[in-house]
């Protein structure tokens, strides 16, 4: 039989072991929470760093319609040509909490290269933004590649869609596109490479297709958005190159 002293000693050892196990479990849980918190903090910093480059482009007169654009640095904003509108439109850029006058340096056309380069007085920008630069990516993205679309309001993750997934009758121009149509930014928004922190493209247009009902062909065809076309980085680089 075990004596009372021995039994008490064994109870103390058992209690000590339980206490140690409890503290080890607590330490592991705390470490996991700190790691998750660190990852969330890093993602938050990354997201905010991309949102800083996202701007609104406003046409006057307008019907409360806002286009988007990307701040490249040196007071330059890149957007879609159709967002800048006709030459007689008055434009303003909403950036860093300010609404600034702007003028068009260079304007393409929706049918060819849907890009426009705008300029604002960078002396009116905060120093934290004035010193920033957004490089243009090299080459074309690969199908399936994850990308980030940034607007002044939000960050959205999307993916490059393979050309074979697009409507067959679509023009070759529209072969660079992303999916997640409903959650990503509209015309003029920047498509970014999250890892390299560079601009992959400028969103230009929705790609839609018309489908007939398989169960009831007599019903009216349904129009469905399948992707968003963006002007890719090589065309942006060519557009920005000095003439």
Give the DSSP per-residue string, 61-101. S-SS-EEEEEEEETTEEEE-HHHH-STT-EEEEEETTEEEE
Contact assessment for residue 109 and residue 81, using Cβ atoms and an 8 Å cutoff = yes
pLDDT tens-digit readout, 25-79 = 544 344 444 444 444 433 444 456 889 999 999 988 765 678 999 999 999 999 9
In angstroms, the CA 120 to CA 100 distance is 7
Contact assessment for residue 119 and residue 77, using Cβ atoms and an 8 Å cutoff = yes
pLDDT tens-digit readout, 209-225 = 877 666 666 667 777 88
In angstroms, the CA 185 to CA 229 distance is 12
Give the architecture (CATH level 2) of 54-130.
Answer: Beta Barrel (2.40)
User: What spatial distance separates the first Cα and last Cα of the chain, rounded to whole Å?
Assistant: 99
pLDDT tens-digit readout, 83-130 = 998 887 889 999 998 999 999 999 999 999 999 999 999 999 998 898
Q: Which stretch of DSSP H or E encloses residue 177?
A: strand 177-178
Residues whose CB is less than 8 angstroms from the CB of residue 56 and which lie 6 or more positions away in sequence, other chains included: 66, 67, 68, 69, 93, 94, 95, 152
Strand partners, 220: none
pLDDT at position 18? 56
Can you say whether the dihedral through the CA atoms of 64, 67, 70, 71 is positive or negative? negative
pLDDT at position 85? 86
pLDDT tens-digit readout, 185-195 = 889 999 999 88
pLDDT at position 221? 72
pLDDT tens-digit readout, 129-170 = 988 999 999 999 999 999 999 999 999 999 999 999 998 888
- Look-up: residue for tokens 């993602």? 43
Q: Would you tell me how many other CB atoms lie within 10 Å of the CB of residue 76? A: 18
Answer yes or no: is pLDDT of 199 > 90: yes
Nearest to 189 by CA among 239, 240, 114: 114
Lowest mean pLDDT among 9-18, 102-111, 229-238: 9-18
Nearest to 99 by CA among 66, 127, 144, 51: 66
pLDDT at position 220? 72
Helix (H, G, I), strand (E, B) or coil at 141: coil
Contact assessment for residue 80 and residue 204, using Cβ atoms and an 8 Å cutoff = yes
In angstroms, the CA 191 to CA 200 distance is 5
pLDDT at position 5? 47
């Amino acid at each position: 039989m075990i004596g009372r002293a021995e039994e008490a000693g064994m109870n103390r050892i058992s209690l000590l072991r339980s206490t140690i196990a409890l503290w080890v479990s607590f330490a592991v849980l705390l470490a996991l929470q700190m790691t998750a918190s660190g990852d969330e903090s890093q993602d938050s910093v990354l997201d905010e760093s991309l949102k800083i480059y996202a701007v609104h482009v406003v046409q006057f007169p307008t019907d409360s319609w806002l286009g988007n654009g990307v701040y490249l640095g040196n007071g330059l904003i890149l957007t879609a040509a159709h967002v800048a509108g006709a030459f007689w439109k008055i434009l303003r850029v909403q950036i860093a909490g300010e609404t600034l006058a702007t003028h068009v340096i260079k304007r393409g056309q929706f049918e060819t290269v849907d890009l426009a380069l705008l300029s604002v007085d960078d002396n009116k920008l905060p120093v934290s933004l004035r010193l920033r630069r957004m490089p243009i990516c090299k080459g074309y993205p690969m199908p399936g590649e994850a990308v980030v679309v940034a607007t002044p309001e939000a960050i959205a993750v999307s993916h490059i869609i393979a050309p074979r997934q697009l409507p067959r009758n679509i023009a070759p121009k529209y072969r660079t596109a992303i999916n997640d149509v409903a959650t990503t930014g509209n015309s003029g928004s920047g498509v970014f490479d999250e890892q390299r922190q560079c601009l992959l493209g400028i969103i230009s247009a929705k790609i839609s297709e018309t489908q007939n009902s398989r169960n009831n062909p007599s019903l009216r065809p349904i129009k469905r958005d399948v992707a968003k076309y963006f002007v890719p980085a090589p065309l942006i680089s060519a557009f920005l190159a000095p003439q």
